[in-house]
Amino acid sequence: MQSVQSPIIPVVAELIRANPGAISLGQGVVHYGPPPEAIQQIETCLRDPENHKYKLVWGIPELREAVARKLKTDNNITLGDDRELFVTAGGNMAFVNAIMAITDPGDEVIFNTPYYFNHEMAVNIASVRSVCVATDENHQLQPDAIAAAITDRTRAVVTISPNNPTGAVYSEESLRQVNAICADAGVYHIHDEAYEYFVYDGATHFSPGSAESSAGHTISLFSLSKSYGFASWRIGYMVAPADLSASIKKIQDTILICPPVISQFAAVGALQAGNAYCRQKLGDIAEVRQIVLDELETLGDLVTVPPADGAFYFLLRIDTGIDPMRLVERLISEHKVAVIPGGTFGIEEGCYLRVAYGALEKNTAAEGIGRLARGLRAILT
C-alpha cells in the first residue's frame, strides 16, 4: 500500500477548503441529480420489510432485468450462457472485481496513458504490474503498440471510451482492433463505459462487448454515477465471461455482500427514465463545454487542447517548465480555481492539467474557466 499513489481528488479538495471561494474544475461529476423515477422507487423499497435484509450478491432481479434490457437496446450486448451480469457498488468496484478475478501477483495489465488513476491504483493494490502504452498526440489508441506490449504475464488490456481524463472518444475500428488483439493473445479486454452518453460534435460511442466472438474475453464496465446523477448512490454493473462468475461472486460477497438495496431500487427507476434523461441534460453540458473551449482559445500558444469529443474533460498541455502540482497549488491559492495535475494520470513528461466541466452551471463555469485563463496568463507570462 505504501507504493500506491494517494487519490488526488481528496488532496485537491483539501486545498480548496483552505482557500474559501475557490471554484472546482477538478472532480468529474455532473451538476444534476437523479430523475424523479429513481426517488419514487425508494418508496417501493421501503414498503417491503424484506428489503432491509441482505439480497443476492449479483443484484436484485428487478434491476438485473432492467440492465439487461438497457444493454440490448443501448449497447447491442445480449446476455446469455456465455456471460454474466453483476450489479456493483459503482464502476470502480466493477474494475476491482475484474482485476482480482483474473490476475495473480506479478501479472501485468496494460494501460493506455493517460490512464484513470483509480484503475492504476487498483492494479497496484492487487500487486500486479501496470504496463503503460502511450496514446498518440490526440490521445487515440495505438493498437500496434498495445500488441507489442503483450507478454506471457499480460492478463488484460484496459480501455476507456469516452475517456477519462482526456475526453477522447475511441473509434469503433480501433476498439474492434484492440478486442481482436486481446482474443488472439488470450488476454482480457476490460472496457470502461462510464461516460457512454457524453459525446459531442457527431462523435459516436461503441461497446466492444457487442463485437462478434467477444463474450469470452471482454469485460464491460458501466456506471450510473455520471449519466443519472447517481454518484453518491454507488451503483454500477459489469458484464463478464461466465467462467469468471464464481470468482467475482467470492470477491463481491467478501467486500460488499450485496450492493446497497435501496440504491438498487432507485437505479430501477433511473433506468425506467432511460437514456433520454441524460440526453436532455447533455445540451446544457455541451453549452458549458463550448464556453470552456472559447475561453481556452484566448490563451493561444500557452495551452494546447487536443480533440476531446466525449465525457466532460479537457486535458490541457501547458507550455511551461513549472511542476504541474505546483501550478495547481498556485492556481488555487492565487486565482481561486482548482484543476487536477497530469502526473496523477501517468504523464511523466511535460505539464498537463485536467479540466472537468460537468459539475458546473453555465454562470459558474464561465467564472471558473475565466479564472483559469486569467491565472494561467498571469503565471506563465
Which of 60-69, 133-142, 362-371 shows the lowest per-residue confidence on average (mean pLDDT)?
A: 362-371
What does the alpha-carbon distance between residue 193 and residue 222 come to, in Å, rounded to a whole number?
5
Considering Cα of 115, then 140, then 310, then 292, what sign does the dihedral take?
positive
pLDDT score at 73: 97
Q: Single out the residue of 56, 32, 109 nearest to residue 249, CA to CA.
A: 56
The pLDDT of residue 363 is above 90: no
pLDDT classification of 21: cutoffs 50, 70, 90:
very high
Contact at 8 Å (CB) between 265 and 42? Answer: yes
Mean pLDDT for the chain overall: 96
**18-34 average pLDDT score:** 94
The pLDDT of residue 361 is above 90: no
CB-CB neighbours of 141 under 10 Å: 23
Query: What DSSP string runs through 48-65?
Result: -GGGGS---TT--HHHHH
pLDDT score at 60: 98
- The domain defined by 8-33+276-380 folds into Aspartate Aminotransferase, domain 1 (3.90.1150)
Beta strands in the chain (DSSP E): 23-24, 83-88, 108-113, 129-134, 154-160, 188-192, 218-223, 236-241, 303-304, 313-318, 337-338, 340-341, 351-356
The pLDDT of residue 360 is above 90: no
Residue type, 8: I
**362-369 average pLDDT score:** 91
Strand pairing class (236-241; 218-223): antiparallel
What does the alpha-carbon distance between residue 85 and residue 97 come to, in Å, rounded to a whole number?
12
pLDDT score at 192: 98
Contact at 8 Å (CB) between 366 and 291? Answer: yes
Q: What is the pLDDT of residues 75-84, one digit of tens each?
A: 999 999 999 9
Q: What is the pLDDT of residues 204-217, one digit of tens each?
A: 999 999 999 999 99
- The domain defined by 36-273 folds into Aspartate Aminotransferase; domain 2 (3.40.640)
Q: What is the pLDDT of residues 119-137, one digit of tens each?
A: 999 999 999 999 999 999 9
Q: What is the pLDDT of residues 159-216, one digit of tens each?
A: 999 999 999 999 999 999 999 999 999 999 999 999 999 999 999 999 999 999 999 9
Contact at 8 Å (CB) between 332 and 8? Answer: no
Domain borders along the chain are 8-33+276-380, 36-273
The pLDDT of residue 362 is above 90: no
The pLDDT of residue 352 is above 90: yes
Burial class (CB within 10 angstroms; exposed 0-12, middle 13-18, buried 19+) of 89: buried
What does the alpha-carbon distance between residue 282 and residue 285 come to, in Å, rounded to a whole number?
5
The pLDDT of residue 356 is above 90: yes
